[in-house]
């Protein structure tokens, strides 16, 4: 399950051009949903979907956006629904999943049963030590309000796994022919110091290093991360058994090193979690927030 990091080889300018083309294509697919998401956030929970605002992340967090909410009942019901989904589906206080075998002939084998029980217990312990349950709380809120929720599950040195919940407006997704989400683009605001901690000095452009030397550690930089199925022709340095590729790059023109590409990583599994409430021919879902939007507007009026 370990994450691998690979060198930026080959034609970096060509790779960067392909990444920007993918970003524009994914952006055009999400664009029709953005106006609906803005309405949903302003009438239910304004602290979800703040990434739809292109302003500085510190400005977004410091601003108040609930000026359209005069009656908090829809907001309370949203949080009540999220809590209900958590307690009813993935309740941390009880065993809500159990490993089993497809071939029932092995189910009665004591050795197989012992291995399954011990592995189930190990997975439960890993989830308890990680941030999975707090992340699920956030995922259920996003799912109820927007109809789509997205997180990235990555290895963690201390807790085995870590879930990055991605705010609505900071992600773009695409699905395969079976409707499974296999492509994720996310936008992150990272300080210069966070960039150095995540990618190391060797990957950083000279302009970022100069800001760090000058003490401008808290200045934010926009980083994009594309996670997609591994294409051996495009990523020849990634082993064939690594199913997904993950590329990080800085927004804007970065000609001094690697064309702004910060890292190429890979996963042996699909790290994308993207539940959708209901689908109607799009990778983005429609949920209870959409159904209750008119009632919420009427209540506020």
Instruction: Give per-10-residue mean pLDDT for the chain (301 aa).
Output: 53 88 96 96 93 71 74 95 96 92 87 94 93 96 98 89 95 96 96 89 81 84 95 89 94 72 92 96 95 94 89
Provide the pLDDT for residue 1: 40
Q: Shortest CA distance to 203 belongs to which of 185, 229, 223, 226?
A: 223
Provide the pLDDT for residue 7: 55
Q: Shortest CA distance to 19 belongs to which of 178, 187, 269, 238?
A: 187
The single-letter DSSP state of residue 178 is: T
177 vs 239: CA distance, rounded Å: 24
Provide the pLDDT for residue 226: 98
Q: In what order do the strands lie in the sheet with 272-273?
A: 160-166, 150-156, 272-273
301 vs 297: CA distance, rounded Å: 6
pTM, to two decimals: 0.89
Q: Answer whether 165's CB lies under 8 Å from 199's CB.
A: no
Q: Is 213 exposed, middle or buried (0-12, 13-18, 19+ CB in 10 A)?
A: exposed
128 vs 139: CA distance, rounded Å: 17
Provide the pLDDT for residue 149: 98
């Amino acid at each position: 399950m370990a994450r691998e990091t690979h060198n930026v080889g080959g034609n970096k300018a060509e790779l960067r051009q392909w990444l920007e083309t993918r970003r524009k294509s994914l952006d055009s697919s999400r664009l029709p949903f953005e106006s609906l998401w803005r309405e949903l956030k302003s009438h239910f929970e304004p602290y979800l979907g703040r990434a739809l605002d292109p302003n500085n992340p510190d400005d977004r967090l410091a601003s108040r956006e609930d000026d359209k909410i005069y009656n908090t009942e829809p907001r309370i019901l949203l949080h009540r629904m999220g809590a209900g989904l958590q307690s009813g589906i993935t309740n941390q206080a009880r065993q809500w999943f159990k490993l089993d075998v497809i071939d029932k002939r092995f189910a009665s084998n004591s050795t197989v049963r012992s291995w399954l029980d011990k592995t189930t217990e190990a997975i439960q312990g890993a989830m308890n030590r990680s941030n999975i349950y707090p992340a699920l709380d956030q995922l259920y809120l996003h799912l109820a309000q927007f109809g789509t929720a997205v997180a990235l599950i990555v290895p963690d040195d201390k807790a085995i796994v870590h879930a990055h919940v991605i705010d609505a407006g900071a992600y773009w997704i695409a699905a395969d022919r079976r409707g499974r989400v296999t492509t994720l683009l996310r936008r992150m605001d990272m300080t210069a110091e966070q960039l150095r901690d995540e990618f190391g000095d060797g990957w950083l452009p000279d302009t970022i290093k100069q800001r760090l030397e000058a003490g401008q550690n808290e200045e934010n930089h926009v980083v994009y991360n594309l996670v997609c199925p591994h294409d051996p022709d495009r990523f020849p340095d990634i082993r064939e058994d690594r199913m997904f590729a993950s590329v990080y790059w800085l927004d804007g023109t970065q000609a001094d090193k690697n064309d702004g590409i910060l890292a190429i990583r890979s996963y042996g599994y699909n790290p994308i979690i993207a539940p959708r409430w209901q689908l109607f021919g799009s990778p983005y879902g429609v949920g209870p927030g959409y159904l209750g939007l008119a009632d919420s507007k009427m209540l506020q009026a």
